[in-house]
Amino acid sequence: MKIALIAHDRMKEEIVQLALAYEAILSEHELFATGTTGQRIMDATSLTLKRCLSGPLGGDQQIGAMIAQNEMDLIIFLRDPLTAQPHEPDIIALLRLCDVHKIPFATNLGTAEILLRALERGELDWREIVHEENER
């Protein structure tokens, strides 16, 4: 599975802690992240991530393009609900794309943990069927 890990500035420590706690699960998948978030996760774990640009510079849109091409299976985007984000339209577009393409999307730690546990149990294997149908 292809998983994107994204976090607003005030949530970066939380996503690093999430990656540390679920490193064994995440290590079995292809990981992507926006710039700084990806670097922070790689510095704290043994995980390898493909880094996009930082969110405000277009990293969200790069991940959105992968979603639109059915090249992403799970998005964990720890958003800061208390701080206005200048690139909020990009974030809303990302969420909309996930809804259109039926891609699980977590915006907080609780939902992220539930999705990672579901991934571990094979409950997101239906995404493989989606890939097969799109290849036809």
Is 122 marked as binding a ligand?
A: no
Is 36 marked as binding a ligand?
A: yes
Is 34 marked as binding a ligand?
A: yes
| Alpha carbon distances (Å) from 36 to 8, 10, 13, 14, 106 | 10, 12, 11, 13, 19
Query: Catalytic positions, please?
Result: 60
| Alpha carbon distances (Å) from 63 to 11, 20, 34, 76, 110 | 18, 22, 8, 11, 22
User: Where are the extended beta strands (E) located within 61-119?
Assistant: 74-78, 105-106
User: Where are the extended beta strands (E) located within 29-129?
Assistant: 30-33, 49-51, 74-78, 105-106
Is 55 marked as binding a ligand?
A: yes
Is 27 marked as binding a ligand?
A: no
Phi/psi region, residue 102 (left: phi>0; alpha: psi -120 to 50; beta: rest), is left
Is 83 marked as binding a ligand?
A: no
Is 12 marked as binding a ligand?
A: yes
Pick out the residues of the known binding site for substrate.
Answer: 8, 12, 34-37, 54-55, 87
Output the known binding site. 8, 12, 34-37, 54-55, 87
